[in-house]
Structure 1
């Protein structure tokens, strides 16, 4: 499969790719990791919204859903199976393009199946785009009414997604019709259409001018060819989202970078502070500096005066 060149030259101060190596600083706070998922502390530190509770405790990804479906003998042709399977497939496949999604679809989902954040280059941390996703695993022709339905989700969005930096994404295994494309173009909301096959392959990606106003001008689409099909002899084809003509990092990489930057933030407070839970430290920092966290110096450590101020706040507890 043809590959794009590696991405270089991300904006200084915004891209967490600049933290590609750990710095050797005192670390009085525990930061051991079991996996790279975005933890509640990470969300709080980078001001990322937390999704509402999932609609079920029986499954939370495609693997656990398949096990659950087999255990209860859920028919693969049932609406619940087809819809849930597709939602998890979309959730998993779009991680390839820095999308961190969580399934919230259920009885009271207000038409929203997935919510999450889009950690595009230069927008990996606090500036990540909020996204509301509707998945339509329908065999019938899709009309412009679906675009109007997607627009309605903005008014019902969960807390944390009611911002002017939120985009709506309509995902379907079918190609967008002319009516859908026209409705997207007319919409005053930032909207995307993604055609994702049931196996997770991205075939089409469209968005309107309003979406580009979110600062997504560098976002692009490229057709890529893979292996030759053994039966037809034709090359397999899919589309890939790019940023300024370059590959978009996988969400796995974004999560590793977020955790690395989080560790550096904790370490930046130096060894003079007592060993406390990170949430307690963050509480003290936010109370001491309500207008924003202080920057660390060239050595990666915040100033002694800032440390002293936070230490006094910690001693109140």
Structure 2
């Protein structure tokens, strides 16, 4: 049993949860980001991005424009729920979560899916993440934790792994019932309190989640000025990794793109986009264990390079490749 860390006047108690409070607010405008390409996802062993549930919007900005265009009431269930899902998606990019909205009639209770790119995490490069968003004014009960557990059995292909965590998100603090349900669960689960403006206020995770190599995950209290003219000071707590800031998803995407360029350059071959996929096909076929040939430092060994490029040239004799 682990002692529950207490903040903001919550009642004392014991649990096998690690309690974290976070209210990191993004005071700068959101940067434009681009999703990873299908080739990047294959190279880094990431699941394919799911098809979006709407053709009219794919982020908070486009949803607000669409809602205004069709005069969708801001008090409607659809508006509140969709707005909150996109707000959560945008807020969690600050902590290296690349999420996609899949909410809809056949979503199996899952609102967002994606990957969590924590630095130097033990095991897989990125955790798989299943997210349920509950934009409810009332307190959330432990029944929602059981509902979240059920999403593991109905997760999309690519998220049915032993490296998948479930995240329950709501705009209010977790009740004792929710905390106890998380502690008892045999699934790796998180609770996050995210306000409707995207401020992360509270984060809890159970012992099962920590077993996935999340020991370095921590928090840091910070202070910032509030928006507007009040000039009040806001107490904030940022998620950290081994005492350092977690690179946001914009940085992760940039690093993965650079790493992909390095991978292509390591073959000493100037390949068009279509040939990169075939090169990866051959590397995964001829190298042990379906490997892409990457060494820990991101380079390719001379033996693997020769083996793969010869196989590629045999398949495409007209392709000029320095073997």
TM-score interval, smaller chain: 0.7 to 0.9
Question: What SS class does the counterpart of residue 258 from structure 1 fall into?
Answer: helix
Tell me what 1:29 maps to. none
User: Cα offset for 1:311?
Assistant: 2.8
Residues 260 and 205 of structure 1, relative CA distance in 2, 3 Å threshold: same
Alpha-carbon distance in 1 for matches of 2:262, 2:36: 16
Alpha-carbon distance in 2 for matches of 1:112, 1:298: 36
Question: What SS class does the counterpart of residue 132 from structure 2 fall into?
Answer: strand
Check if 1:241 corresponds to 2:231: no
Contact 2:259 2:298 in 1 (8 A): no
Tell me what 1:184 maps to. 182
Tell me what 1:169 maps to. 167
Alpha-carbon distance in 1 for matches of 2:297, 2:48: 33
| Alignment counterpart, residue 64 of structure 2, candidates 60, 63, 66 | 66
Question: What SS class does the counterpart of residue 162 from structure 1 fall into?
Answer: coil
User: Cα offset for 1:281?
Assistant: 1.4
Question: What SS class does the counterpart of residue 162 from structure 2 fall into?
Answer: coil
- Unmatched 5+ stretches in structure 1: 1-33
Contact 2:123 2:213 in 1 (8 A): no
Alpha-carbon distance in 2 for matches of 1:267, 1:159: 31
Alpha-carbon distance in 2 for matches of 1:214, 1:148: 20
Contact 1:171 1:196 in 2 (8 A): yes
Tell me what 1:44 maps to. 42
Contact 1:119 1:125 in 2 (8 A): no
Alpha-carbon distance in 1 for matches of 2:127, 2:295: 26
Tell me what 2:292 maps to. 293
Residues 148 and 308 of structure 1, relative CA distance in 2, 3 Å threshold: closer
Tell me what 1:313 maps to. 312
User: Cα offset for 1:180?
Assistant: 0.6
User: Cα offset for 1:125?
Assistant: 10
User: Cα offset for 1:53?
Assistant: 1.4
User: Cα offset for 1:298?
Assistant: 9.1
Alpha-carbon distance in 2 for matches of 1:315, 1:300: 23
User: Cα offset for 1:43?
Assistant: 0.4
Tell me what 1:22 maps to. none
Contact 2:96 2:248 in 1 (8 A): yes
Alpha-carbon distance in 2 for matches of 1:124, 1:237: 31
User: Cα offset for 1:296?
Assistant: 6.0
Alpha-carbon distance in 2 for matches of 1:241, 1:298: 27
Tell me what 1:84 maps to. 82
Q: What do the CA deviations read for 1:4-38 (whole angstroms, capped 9, x no partner)? A: xxxxxxxxxxxxxxxxxxxxxxxxxxxxxx96531
Tell me what 1:196 maps to. 194
Residue correspondence of structure 1 range 18-33 to structure 2 within 5 A: none
TM-score of the pair, normalised by structure 1 = 0.83
| Alignment counterpart, residue 128 of structure 2, candidates 130, 153, 158 | 130
Q: How many residues end up aligned between the 2 structures?
A: 283
Q: Which region of structure 1 is more displaced relative to structure 2, 105-114 or 36-45?
A: 36-45
